[in-house]
Amino acid sequence: MNFVQVLNKKKQGLELTTEEINYFATEYAKGTIPDYQASALLMAICIKGLNEREILDLTQAYVSTGDKYMLENVKGYKVDKHSTGGVGDKTSLVYGPICASYGLKVCKMSGRGLAQTGGTIDKLETFPGMTTELSDKAFQDVINKTNMSIIQQTSNIVLADKKIYALRDVTGTVDSIGLITASIMSKKLVLNNDGLVIDCKVGKGAFMKDLKEAKELSNYMIKIGKMAGRDIAIMLTNMNTPLGKAIGNAIEVKEAYDTLLGNGPDDLNELCATAAAISLVQGGIFKDFKTAEKDVLTKLKNGDFVKPFKEFVEAQGGDFSVIENYDKNFTTKNKIEIKADKDGFIEYIDANEMGLLAMELGAGRKTKEDTLDLAAGIYLEKQTGDAVKKGDVLFTLYSNKVIDYKSEISDKLFTINKTKPNSKIILDILQ
C-alpha cells in the first residue's frame, strides 16, 4: 500500500477505508511506517477528523496489535468499570466486590499511577504476595472461583496505541476527539466483556476539565462501545474535589475495605453504588436502575460486600490480614495536621494540587522508576461541604519524608466559605 496516498486522502478530508486504517496501525506498530509519515497522518486527522466508522476501525486496529483476552471459559455476564483517572479514586476496589456478590463476573485490567493520579495496581500491592500478573488461564480461573479478578496491563496490549500516543504527545496532535476515543476504548475492548461502565472524571483533577467537552467525548465512546457489541454507560463525575477521604495507596485500600464494611464516606458510597447498579441492570440482575441502586446501598451500609474482596485478594496470593490490622502495618515517621483558621464550610478547590501534594509525600511517582511509599498519603478529616470550627483538623499528612508544608500551600488546596458549597459527585449519566 502507498502510504503517501493515504496521507493525501485524509488531507483532503476523505474517508479512509478499513484496510488503510489497519495498515497504518499494524505497520506503525512494526516500525515500517516512520514517525514523520505517522505524524503527518495524525495532524491530518486532527484537522479533518474521523467519522464513527473510522474511529471504530482505528480502535479495533489498535486492539489487533497486541494481546487480547477472549474470556471464553468464563460463564455468566462479564462486566468491567474503567475510570479516566482521579485523585482518591479507589472505586474499582468497591465496585468489583459489589458486582461479584450478585454473581456478575468482574473481568478487569488496570494500570499503575504516574504523578498525581493513583493506579489500582499500585494500591493492590498493599497486600504482600499479591500478584496481578496472571496468565490468561489463571485470570479466568480466579474469576470463576471468586467472580472477580483485576490484573495489570501487559506491555503487549494495544502496541500501536502506545506508540501513537507517545507520538501525539510531541507533535501537537493530542486534542483529537477521534484519536482520544480510539485510545481509551481500545484498552477496554482488549477484554471481551459484555457490559462496560466508564467513569469519566471532570474538573481540575481530571483529564477533561470541561463538562461540555466530557459529554462530547462520552457520546463518541458510547457509540464506539455499542458498535463493538458492548452494553455501555458513562458516568460524568466531579473531580474538582478528591473522591472519598483517603489519598494514597494503602490508605485508599483501607477506605475501600471500610466502605465494604459499611463505613464509607457518602460520596464514595454513591459513586460505587451507581456504577454497580448500572452493571446489575446491564446484566439483567435488576430490571431498573433505582431498584438496583437501592438494594446496593442497603447492603453496602450493612457491610455485606467485604467477603468477595477478601476472596479475590487471597485467590491472587495477597495477605489480606495487613489491611484488617492496618494501624500495625502502615505507619509513617512523620505526621502533620492541617487545621482551620476560621469557622465556615470547607471546599477543596483543586484535586490536582491535592494529588501533587500526596505525590511529594511519597504516595505517587514523578517518573516510572520511582518507588512508592505505600503508607504515605493524606486523610481528609473534613470533606467539601462539611462545617468546620476554627482549630478543627481539616486533613492529615502522612509521610516517611520530612514534610515541608508551607501555609501558602493551603490557598491552592481549599477555602473556608461562609455558605455551604455544592458538592455534587455525579454530574450526569449517559447511555
* Catalytic positions, written as ranges: 82, 161, 168, 183, 187
Judged by DSSP in three states, 105 sits in: strand
Distance between CA 366 and CA 113 in Å, rounded? 10
Of 77, 67, 74, 5, give the one whose Cα is nearest residue 41: 5
How many CB atoms are located within 10 Å of the residue 166 CB? Answer: 11
CB contact set of 297 (below 8 Å; sequence gap of 6+): 269, 273
Of 51, 48, 108, give the one whose Cα is nearest residue 275: 108
How many CB atoms are located within 10 Å of the residue 131 CB? Answer: 14
Biggest alpha carbon distance in the chain? 70
Sheet-wide strand order for 148-152: 148-152, 105-110, 78-83, 195-202, 231-238, 426-430
The three cell numbers locating residue 316 = 491472587
How many CB atoms are located within 10 Å of the residue 114 CB? Answer: 17
Distance between CA 382 and CA 388 in Å, rounded? 8
